[in-house]
Amino acid sequence: MNMINVVSTDPRPTDDVWIPSSCSVCYGTCSILAHRVDGVVVKIEGNPESAVGKGRLCGKGVSGIMTHYDPNRLTRPLRRTNPKKGLSEDPRWQEISWDEALDEISAVLRKVRAEDPRKLVVQRTTTVTASRVLFQTFAAAFGTPNLSTSGGGLHCGNGAHLISGIMHASWSIVPDFEYCNYAIFFGASKGHAAGHASCSNMGKAADARARGMKMVVVDPICNFAAAKATEWVPLRVGTDAALALAMCNIMVNELGIYDGPYLQAKTNAPYLIGPDKLYVRHPESKQPLVWDTRSNNAHPFTEVAAADMALEGEFTVDGKRCRPSFHCLRDHLRKFTPEWAEKISTIGAATIRRLAKEFGTEARVGSTIVIEGVTLPYRPVAAIAFRGSQGHLNSLYNFYAVDLLNHLVGAADVVGSCLGFNPASHGHPDTGKLRYIPSADPDGLMVSGMWMGYHYPYPPSEPRLPTNIGMQDLFVLGMISPFLDSTDREEMWERFDFPYRPEVMVNFGANLLMSIANKEAVAASLANYKFMVSFDLFLTETSNFADIVLPDCSYLQSLDSRSNFPFLFNLPAGMGEWCWPIRQPLLPPDGEQRQCADVLLEIADRVGFRADLNAAYNASLNMQAPHRLDRETRYSYAQICDAELKNNFGPERGLDWFKEHGLIKWKKKPEEVYWRPFVDVRVPIYWEFMLPIGAKIAAIAEPRGLKIPMEYYEPMPDFLPCVSHCCQKPDFDFYAFYYRDVVHTNSFTMENPWLDEAARLDPFSYTVAINAAEARKRSLHDGQLVWIESEAGRKVKGRLKLTEAVHPEGLGIAAMCGHWSDGMPVAKGKGVFFNELLELDWEHVSPANMSLDLCAKVRVVPVEVAS
């Protein structure tokens, strides 16, 4: 590591400095040191001072220079001169001045805000995490609830974040790598070059494997995580719940392994469930009742010692037969035998039994460990899931079933177990700011202390007649919605008598056309907007539908008082340090590039809602006097960043202090990291709240002709098939799925020449992985050009790569390749556009959380035969 020589970040004609900042090539936001020589950034390294990345950078982070210096970057505002919008329409761009651009944008927004602010849709990419504050405040101040992150959420997190929030008060989950001895990953790459806290977790996972942690990866493809695992368990795409439920059944019903004291004290396992599947409640206080084994009677859960709460038995309360929810769950699990799960998942029953036994035994139920003088429960096992398992119709139950493995043995937020990302913080020692801790709702169930999504994961809102175009106010368990762009969106809006339609879009860097589903569906939606403005680095497929394109600054030219969303999102879990890094501009804008944060402030001024925007910033950043923004003052974004930093860390630690130091950090305490024994909250192993939500949604939707499949609203998880599992067409014998290639972030890094070169060297990045034996049975060969055709008749072309490392029924394709925009010439024409195979309608969306079904039953046809 070179010496850090921190000086002013003003570019000079001659300089030689290392400047601390934050990567933004993916949402990992690892802390970086950038070496600037004579005004040119010549190298980027990880910042070893930071807990975010821990001094590491991935290949994408190292290559960020090439994205910044790409000659295809936009440098001037552009106006479309061709009024027609379509996939084959040339926008006929014309360069215009910023004044012209902002005049036009402001006039449109002023008119829409006066008519009905909900006609504005705000889209943003998930890649730039810090943009969340900018665009949520802008949307809130403008008055629109219609905010989206295109493919993010809809593909990756509608289930994962919801359930991590309900069960761990966190955005996501990860093994406690320092102490975990046995981790089982269901369609997740955390710690293996992707996911939250990516670079930090890579080091932690590698150390854990070297220490001897057994790592089992359940995945249809053996690539980034599975290739480093102790054991790869290939399964049929989308059947994760079948395996997890069978493992739960073996542990509880065959081996009798579960953590009774944890279930009694920290979950709703003792709550009595009546014949209507709902809690039996106290007639006056309405608290859920438990059976007190000491008095042999039912009492509210707050009035009985946890150790005296019955977990099993049949009781009569007020004439109703009832059982503790654990008893219900135990009975429910019996039907998920390993033999049943084998038929669904293709994993052998003996393997399922062995995995359950290994997991249950290694959990060491009842054991404790001392960490920094504090005695804590020790459960060194973790089951985690992410995009792969939850991106299906059965999104909720897939993830819920996986996480039940943890909760049955008490392996949740204690030493060695499945951890949320920092759900409890006692705040900075000097200011006490950034303090948040989960709390209990009236039923004793956990409410997150902090959240960053569309709504808190629990308690769910009351479903109501929807007025948001994504209908999250009806489907209250969903965050990001397909109904902004779905082929049946107009039918949906008519069904619910929507009083308005989306007319204007403000887009920040999201490439919707590539990140959601088939391009015809999304193009039809985009073409319908009367006006669209897009902040972009390049002319993407999506910006070609805009009316005005604004040249944004790259992360090496941008300022952010928070590099990501602290601390639920990207700070590594486990012991270590709290760490708040900033991002600072190392280079000036090129041409007329401007950072979107400042442009949004100017638009608010021109449209006339600056006061509302300042108020929204105060609310979003939890600003306290004297740092609260004055309603009428015109602040620059740098001034807002300065105010936020002083608000959190004291008046002496404003923007100048952070520009010099790059970050602030302080030590985590065991009571923060392993918070579960110290906070009196319970989590639901029985989701009683699902039934009333489903009933209320059905009461609104069904009179309007939308049938709600109630099997998705049951309180205990099940395996429910994807559309692809039900396909009966002959010859359609493969399940196409996509995976996230670790050399790429979403779709935009394919324009980066170093990453493109790395992808071309990788035999799989731009090809279609097919099981070698299955290919040979069909006389298909390595490198063969084929059509992959979905049962709905959608087709993509790609070259086959034969391998043993994919399930016999699987076709694995790296996500979001196949660009076609001339504005990204390096990326254009490379790889296979998987999303073209995805339908975008009600039938292909989870009726519970609106997660899109991300697999398709396909057939493979050689190009020469097809032609």
Give the Cα separation of 485 and 497 in Å (integer). Answer: 18
**Using the 8-state DSSP alphabet, how is residue 252 labeled?**
I
Pick 363 or 537: Cβ nearer ligand SF4: 537
Residue the block writes with tokens 């099981």: 771
**Cβ-count burial of 253 within 10 angstroms (0-12 exposed, 13-18 middle, 19+ buried)?**
middle
Which of 17, 19, 25, 265 is close enough to bind ligand SF4 by CB under 6 A? 25
Rounded to the nearest 10 degrees, what angle do helices 98-115 and 596-607 cross at?
60
8 A C-beta contact, residue 261 and residue 277: no
8 A C-beta contact, residue 770 and residue 736: no
Q: Which residues have a Cβ under 8 Å from the Cβ of 434 and sit 6 or more positions away? A: 425, 427, 428, 566, 567, 578, 580, 648
| Closest CB to ligand SF4: residue number | 61
Give the Cα separation of 798 and 400 in Å (integer). Answer: 35
Least gap, CB of 510 to ligand SF4 (angstroms): 18
Least gap, CB of 387 to ligand SF4 (angstroms): 16
Pick 192 or 807: Cβ nearer ligand SF4: 192
- 30 touches ligand SF4 (CB under 6 A): yes
Region from 25-33, 620-628, 666-674, 761-769 binding ligand SF4, contact rule CB under 6 A: 25-33
Binding mask 686-725 for ligand SF4 (x = CB under 6 A): ----------------------------------------
8 A C-beta contact, residue 312 and residue 323: yes
What residues numbered 198-227 form the site for ligand SF4, per CB under 6 A? 198-199
What residues numbered 502-521 form the site for ligand SF4, per CB under 6 A? none
Binding mask 274-303 for ligand SF4 (x = CB under 6 A): ------------------------------
What residues numbered 773-832 form the site for ligand SF4, per CB under 6 A? none
3-state secondary structure of 508: strand
Least gap, CB of 581 to ligand SF4 (angstroms): 11
- 26 touches ligand SF4 (CB under 6 A): yes
Pick 198 or 534: Cβ nearer ligand SF4: 198
* Six token digits for residue 590: 């090129």
8 A C-beta contact, residue 133 and residue 621: yes
- 29 touches ligand SF4 (CB under 6 A): yes
What residues numbered 392-411 form the site for ligand SF4, per CB under 6 A? none
Region from 24-32, 163-171, 713-721, 775-783 binding ligand SF4, contact rule CB under 6 A: 24-32
Cross-strand bridge partners of residue 575: none
3-state secondary structure of 838: coil
H or E element, residue 420: strand 418-420
- 759 touches ligand SF4 (CB under 6 A): no
Give the Cα separation of 809 and 789 in Å (integer). Answer: 15
Nearest by Cα to 658 from 576, 566, 572, 584: 584
What residues numbered 33-62 form the site for ligand SF4, per CB under 6 A? 53, 57-58, 60-61
H or E element, residue 534: strand 531-536
Pick 493 or 569: Cβ nearer ligand SF4: 569
Least gap, CB of 31 to ligand SF4 (angstroms): 9
8 A C-beta contact, residue 439 and residue 447: yes
Give the Cα separation of 830 and 819 in Å (integer). Answer: 7
- 742 touches ligand SF4 (CB under 6 A): no
Region from 19-27, 485-493, 695-703, 818-826 binding ligand SF4, contact rule CB under 6 A: 19-27
Which of 17, 20, 28, 382 is close enough to bind ligand SF4 by CB under 6 A? 28
Least gap, CB of 198 to ligand SF4 (angstroms): 4
Pick 537 or 600: Cβ nearer ligand SF4: 537
Which of 17, 23, 154, 852 is close enough to bind ligand SF4 by CB under 6 A? 23
Region from 20-28, 240-248, 396-404, 833-841 binding ligand SF4, contact rule CB under 6 A: 20-28
- 533 touches ligand SF4 (CB under 6 A): no
Pick 742 or 811: Cβ nearer ligand SF4: 742
Give the Cα separation of 575 and 790 in Å (integer). Answer: 47
Pick 29 or 268: Cβ nearer ligand SF4: 29
Residue the block writes with tokens 């039907």: 335
**φ and ψ at 214, to 5 degrees?**
-80, 130
Pick 200 or 648: Cβ nearer ligand SF4: 200
Give the Cα separation of 601 and 138 in Å (integer). Answer: 9
- 573 touches ligand SF4 (CB under 6 A): no
8 A C-beta contact, residue 367 and residue 378: yes
Residues in touch with ligand SF4 (CB under 6 A): 23, 25-26, 28-30, 53, 57-58, 60-61, 198-199
